[in-house]
């Protein structure tokens, strides 16, 4: 979790003396932490200082999203004197068509993957007899056995590809549907921070830069694993992705000369999908940081008024620092609107993200478990180096889930602090009518039917109990899948259906793993000899009748 930001470092409104000469001179630079709670003169109306802060903090992730075609959003300054930014969507811009084209591309991949997944399970179209100028001739049954062997060997990869593809397609589709709502919400946010005078972008830019760097580092590591083909999973995952995209067109695509080229292209497409699947959820993290800081500032103002005597300040000072009871409640309602808008904008992004990652994390954990516990008797061609790719992928997925979850919970936790401030004041003792109405209104607001939190269209609320329940669900599924012991890796009983010479040749075609650490030669020396009776027609010359 990021270091807690003090409200003194964020609240840049006037709180002591509006007419201070030092405040009048600070018309360009925002206050630093050492100037916290010192009087700050509001900038000219055509200089949206607070909106500038939000735009600057959003800039790193905006560039990252535009590179991958995920943000059909444009910006223009409002009219002179408005003191705000105006965001809009425009079909005449190239970025809009880039975003639309990438969405269509994702839908095409999803449809092809769905059709070929059904086809490979029911063997339609059936695998034909194949010659292709080779001295080896295989029957339909043997070709089908080879195909089933690849599916069992890379079952974990199939699940990961499915989750990644569905997640990035659905989130991109739903987010594209909000292409007109997003600029409206961003414009409202830029205007709201100017009205309520909160610098809620403090340290958000640093967080977004860290997110961009982490995503680039993981993308580079995945690319290096794929380029150097350190383990069979690194070459087999794009190979299986290629098979599940083109099998309906050509059932024997694995044996074609073009297959290595297609596998290379699909490998880079899969890396693109890994990034796209998480782009929008990190955009959601950006808004949670903004909302959390806004509530932190508002809570600090309420605390100063109710517990530190600022309710006795003059009306001019209250108007300047927005610490009047009427201002505080209006700002509270504005923050509720911002939370509701963020929830409406990202509800259809949050749901597929967490749904897909429940299955993905479970399968990744099981993949690591099998890679560490399998023996040579259980599985021929044991893939020791798959653990490296599995651990890296598992850390990336788990880290993303935890970071997003805690970012979402930070909004509800900071909002609930406002209720704690009001509770400490209580209703006992003499109070003015304005103060009493304010306290009662906050009680009604905070204790309403719904929590003051991101709720993903009311399916759940982002709090610590949600994180614990989510991780508990993954652990439960992991225990269940171990007890049932599905065949996610090839066992000896099934591997005897595949010829030893054919298996080595097939894996060289399909995975093209480079044996950097010479594990393969050691395992090949330990292979068992299968009798001719087990091969149903093996004649010793590499041919099957």
Q: Give the residue among 190, 444, 435 at the shortest CA–CA distance from 328.
A: 435
pTM of the model: 0.79
Question: Comparing C-alpha atoms, which of 152, 154, 158 is closest to residue 495?
Answer: 152
Of 404, 371, 406, residue with least CA distance to 389: 371
Provide CB contacts within 8 A for 14, sequence distance 6+: 23, 39, 40, 41, 42, 317, 320, 321
Q: Is the pLDDT of residue 488 over 60?
A: no
- Residue 294's pLDDT band, with cuts at 50, 70 and 90, is very high
* 414 contacts 295 by C-beta, under 8 angstroms: yes
Span 304-328, mean pLDDT? 77
pLDDT tier at 543 (50, 70, 90 boundaries)? Answer: very low
Split at pLDDT 50, 70, 90, the class of 84 is low
Provide, rounded to the nearest whole percent, the portion of the chain with pLDDT above 70: 74
- Within 13 Å and on the Cβ side, how many CA atoms surround 15? 23
Give the model's confidence band at 83: pLDDT under 50 very low, under 70 low, under 90 confident, else very high.
low
Burial label for 481, CB within 10 Å (0-12, 13-18, 19+), is: middle
Q: Report which of residues 142 and 62 the model is more confident about.
A: 62
Mean pLDDT computed over 109-136: 73
Q: How far apart are CA 109 and CA 149, in angstroms?
A: 24
pLDDT tens for 21-64 read: 333 333 334 333 333 333 333 444 455 678 888 888 888 888 89
Q: Given the structure tokens 């959390």, which residue do they identify?
A: 292
Q: pLDDT class for 444, splitting at 50, 70, 90?
A: confident
Other CB atoms within 10 Å distance of the CB of residue 170:
20
Provide the 3-class DSSP secondary structure of residue 77.
Answer: strand
Q: Cβ distance 312 to 304 under 8 Å?
A: no
Q: And the tokens for 138?
A: 């295989």
């Amino acid at each position: 979790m990021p270091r807690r930001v003090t409200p003194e470092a964020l609240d840049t409104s006037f709180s002591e003396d509006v007419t201070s000469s030092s405040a009048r001179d600070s018309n360009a630079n925002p206050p630093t932490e050492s100037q916290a709670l010192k009087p700050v003169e509001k900038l000219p109306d055509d200089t949206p200082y607070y909106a500038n802060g939000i735009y600057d903090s959003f800039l790193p992730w905006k560039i990252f999203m535009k590179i991958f075609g995920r943000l059909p959003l444009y910006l223009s300054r409002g009219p002179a004197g408005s003191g705000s930014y105006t965001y809009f969507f425009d079909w005449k811009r190239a970025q809009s068509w880039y975003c639309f084209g990438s969405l269509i591309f994702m839908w095409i991949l999803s449809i092809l993957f769905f059709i070929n997944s059904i086809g490979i399970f029911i063997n339609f179209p059936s695998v034909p007899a194949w010659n292709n100028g080779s001295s080896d001739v295989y029957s339909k049954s043997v070709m089908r056995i080879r195909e089933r062997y690849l599916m069992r060997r890379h079952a974990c990869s199939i699940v990961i590809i499915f989750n990644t593809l569905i997640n990035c397609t659905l989130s991109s589709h739903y987010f594209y549907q909000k292409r007109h709502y997003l600029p409206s919400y961003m414009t409202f946010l830029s205007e709201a921070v100017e009205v309520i005078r909160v610098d809620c972008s403090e340290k958000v830019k640093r967080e977004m830069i860290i997110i961009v760097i982490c995503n680039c580092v993981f993308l580079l590591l995945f690319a290096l694993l794929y380029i150097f083909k350190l383990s069979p999973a690194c070459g087999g995952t794009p190979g299986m992705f290629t098979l599940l995209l083109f099998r309906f067109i050509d059932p024997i695509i694995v044996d074609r000369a073009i297959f290595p080229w297609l596998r290379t292209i699909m490998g880079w497409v899969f890396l693109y999908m890994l990034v796209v699947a998480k782009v929008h959820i990190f955009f959601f993290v950006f808004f949670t940081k903004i909302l959390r800081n806004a509530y932190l500032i508002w809570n600090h103002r309420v605390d100063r008024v109710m517990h530190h005597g600022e309710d006795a300040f003059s009306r001019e000072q209250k108007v300047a620092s927005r610490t009047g009871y009427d201002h505080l409640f209006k700002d509270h309602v504005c923050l509720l609107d911002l939370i509701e808008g963020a929830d409406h904008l990202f509800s259809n992004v949050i749901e597929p993200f967490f749904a897909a990652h429940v299955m993905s994390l479970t399968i990744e954990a099981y993949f690591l478990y099998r890679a560490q516990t399998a023996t040579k008797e259980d599985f021929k061609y044991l893939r020791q180096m798959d653990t490296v790719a599995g651990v890296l992928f598992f850390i990336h997925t788990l880290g993303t889930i935890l970071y997003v979850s805690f970012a979402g919970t930070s909004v509800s936790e900071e909002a609930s602090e406002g209720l704690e401030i009001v509770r400490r004041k209580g209703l006992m003792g003499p109070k003015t009518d304005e103060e009493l109405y304010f306290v009662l209104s906050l009680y009604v607001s905070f204790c309403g039917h719904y929590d003051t939190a991101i709720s993903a269209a009311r399916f759940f609320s982002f709090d610590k109990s949600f994180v614990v329940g989510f991780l508990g669900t993954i652990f439960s599924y992991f225990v269940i899948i171990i007890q049932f012991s599905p065949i996610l890796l090839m066992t000896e009983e099934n591997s005897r259906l595949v010829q030893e010479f054919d298996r080595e040749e097939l894996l060289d075609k399909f995975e093209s793993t480079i044996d950097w650490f010479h594990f393969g030669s050691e395992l090949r020396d330990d292979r068992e000899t299968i009798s001719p009776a087990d091969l149903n027609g093996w004649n010793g010359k590499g041919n099957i009748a």
